Amino acid sequence: MFQHETLENGVRLLTAHQDEAPSATALVMFGVGSRFETPEQCGIAHFAEHMFFKGTERRPTARDISVEIDGIGGDFNAFTGKEYTGYYVKCAAEHLTLAVDVLADMLLQSKFDGEEIEREKGVILEEMAMYRDLPQRYVGNVYDELLYGDTPLGWDIVGTEDVIKGADRDLFRSFIDRWYTANRVVVGLAGNVSAEAKAKVSESFLDIGAANEGTRATAQWSQDGPQVKLHHKDSEQAHLLLGVRAPGLDSSDRYAIGVMNAILGGGMSSRLFTEIRERRGLCYYVYSHHDAYTDAGSMVVAAGVDTNRIDLAITTILEELDKLAKEGPDDAEFQKAKNYLKGKFVLGVEDPRGLIMFGARREVVEDGYWEPKQALDAIDAVSMDDVRRVARELFSSEQRNLAVVGPFDDQERFEKLLAPATAAV
């Protein structure tokens, strides 16, 4: 399904041509995110994402850029993660060449005008305040800091107020010139892709910075027992993340963990949803996920619970982890979990944007794209024994981690709940 090419300067072009597709997507993804920052740059990867939309010599203002994409009815956005950053336009296939031209112009010719930087600081600071006011999201920051401490993986992607307020053009250029280079970019085209659009990629991305050496900070942590971190917020509901350290994307167990996760907290028939919400009514939402970076990760349960019954919610989650580790799944839920994962994956890659996101992310982060069939085959290859083994290995009572946003200050109270004697695995 994918065609892979490497341009003369090292830029990779990944194409998924679909003759009958009425739409197409142009995606530019860099294998660079907030994990590549120094303390003096904390938040600059995300801030730069905003600034790329603010004007070039050919399109001097943000409006000039947005008018072109609005004029073709395109869907235009960007995202910053800890290990990658992406910019995309989804549009009618006939306009794909223009979409490539706009993205290349933004990413290679942005002005980073001083007045625009000053204006955008206010936007970033308001975004920062918004996330702090959303406990369901902010608890993720608390959990990352608990797990990874004062390292790039533990920092908030949005950054710190001091760095944002002090940012200037030189700070942006020092980060972009260092990391936005030919060896770290994948351009993806999917849908009804024309030869003209592919030629535009080859023409437009020749001016990107030359390849250089260097990579992200190494994951670092140490843990001798259960860990708890609280963020006090007066609220009617408490939001928690309860998890254990888990392998990253480089692990051969990633798909076994995926199947186990589907059994535990994937969908409305999962163990956690059935027991904690449907049977006990302890929460509004509960789910689990494998939060994985290249070389590090965590298996996490997320829930929004009644503040008066948070202790019961935590012990019930621990009981479900314990049960899965000791007994493993039954045949029916094992097969259901595999079908659930395959179904979700197929739905995710059925349109051009989802398809190229899948291919480009693997290529840029893991240095090698997969065909969709390879992912489906990897799910099929997971055995019942694999799921039992990873459940036993991960749910160690000594490695539990709990982050809570809610009206609580007594850390010792929660440490006792996580202690091995409470729910030994």
**Residues marked as catalytic:** 49
CB 271 within 8 A of CB 320: yes
> If 0-12 CB within 10 Å is exposed, 13-18 middle and 19+ buried, where does residue 364 land?
buried
Q: Could you tell me how many residues make up the chain?
A: 425
What is the C-alpha separation between 37 and 39, in angstroms, rounded? 7
What are the backbone dihedrals phi and psi of residue 215, each rounded to the nearest 5 degrees, phi first?
A: -150, -175
**Which candidate, 238, 240, 244, places its Cα nearest to that of 423?**
244
What is the C-alpha separation between 235 and 247, in angstroms, rounded? 34
Residue 202 in tokens:
């080859």
Residue 169 in tokens:
């053009």
Which residues are bridge partners to 185 per DSSP? 30
What is the C-alpha separation between 258 and 222, in angstroms, rounded? 25
Q: What angle do CA 338, 344, 345 make, to 5 degrees?
A: 90
What are the backbone dihedrals phi and psi of residue 232, each rounded to the nearest 5 degrees, phi first?
A: -70, 130
Residue 243 in tokens:
């998890």
Which residues are bridge partners to 26 per DSSP? 89, 189
What is the C-alpha separation between 338 and 137, in angstroms, rounded? 28
Which residues are bridge partners to 6 per DSSP? 12
